Amino acid sequence: MIEIRQLSKRYPGKGKTEGLLALDRIDLHIEAGEIYGIIGHSGAGKSTLLRTMNLLERPTEGSIQVAGIELTQLNKKELQQQRSKIGMIFQHFNLLSSATVYDNIAFPLQLVNTPKHKVDAKVNELIRLVGLEAHRDKYPAQLSGGQKQRVGIARALANDPKVLLCDEATSALDPQTTQSILSLLLQINKQFGITIVLITHEMHVIQTICDRVAVIHGGRIVEQGKVVDVFLKPSHAVTQEFIMEENHLGDLSSWVSFKNGQGVHSRIMKIHYLGEVTYEPILHRVLSAAGIEFAILQGTISRMKDVPYGQLIIRMDGKEEALRHAAVALAEQGLEVEVLA
């Protein structure tokens, strides 16, 4: 659906200065119908990258193909036609303050001279989809942040796009509202098969709805793959930092002890469960058989989109040999085991 090859963007500098290289030789392939996340810190280049996908930002060099069409080669009229197939929602909603909910959603249709009866039918359909039936005649100032974003989503869907670009669509919202907006995006993806590309600096957004993810840092993609693989086996330091922040892991050294004279050691382990094994009592079974005491220091059981997963940080206390054998036994049961300290 979206194919990006060797994409670079350099903003011009003043005088003889070289300017800022915002994107550096980026390659991305986004499949039709998937939800693709791009995560990075502020200034990493993620917004610039997203805005190149509909040429709101024109790259300095490289190729951008959407549904097989090379956007950089289109004239103004052809580009406008292709942009109508690419919806976009924004962090700060970008609604018309003097227009009602109905009129905000109708605006893209009116721009292309859609007959009034078709506008009415489409807008009413979208208002029902995003759950704003009771608010159709209200103005943006009368709406909550979540309601404003629902208007933005409905407006982005007005022209039946094949792609929906989400520019930090939940970062201005509280956690409960964020979850409701993510659920709505997931529903839209499943119901209409729309390809969704979203950028964020929040790992939990990626975990909740994305199929695949790319990590951007310094204008370059430093890691990408299935969310499950990247989350459970991060290879780049930036990805590891995002995961540490999400799990609120601090200094682990204070959790480790050595019981002098008794030959009893402590080991901090990170245990990953994936799939239905998440709900089985493997940890208790293996460690009890090995005579090892353990304490759960931190943990979660959740889902990454449709995949059950669990992650525990535990301290195991026991003989050195028993600790080694226990780690091997857990791995043999299909768990990912990592020694942290």
Regarding pTM above 0.85, the answer is no
How do the domains of the chain map onto residue ranges?
2-244, 253-339
The pLDDT confidence band at residue 296, using thresholds 50, 70 and 90, is confident
Domain 253-339 falls in which CATH fold?
Alpha-Beta Plaits (3.30.70)
Q: How far is 249 from 22, CA to CA, in rounded Å?
A: 31
Are 106 and 119 in contact, with CB atoms under 8 Å apart? Answer: yes
In the predicted structure, residue 257 carries a pLDDT above the cut 60: no
Average pLDDT, the chain: 87
Which helix H or strand E contains 299, and what residues bound it? Answer: strand 293-304
The pLDDT tens digits of the residues spanning 29-49 come to 999 999 999 999 989 999 999
The pLDDT confidence band at residue 185, using thresholds 50, 70 and 90, is very high
Token pair for 36: 């693709």
Are 153 and 185 in contact, with CB atoms under 8 Å apart? Answer: yes
Q: Which residue has the higher pLDDT, 291 or 65?
A: 65
DSSP codes of every residue in 207-273? HHH-SEEEEEETTEEEEEEEHHHHHHS--SHHHHHHHHHHHT----GGG--EETTTTEEEEEEEEEE
The pLDDT tens digits of the residues spanning 78-104 come to 998 899 899 999 888 899 999 999 999
Token pair for 297: 């220091």
CATH of domain 2-244: 3.40.50.300
The pLDDT confidence band at residue 136, using thresholds 50, 70 and 90, is very high
Q: What is the DSSP letter of 201?
A: S
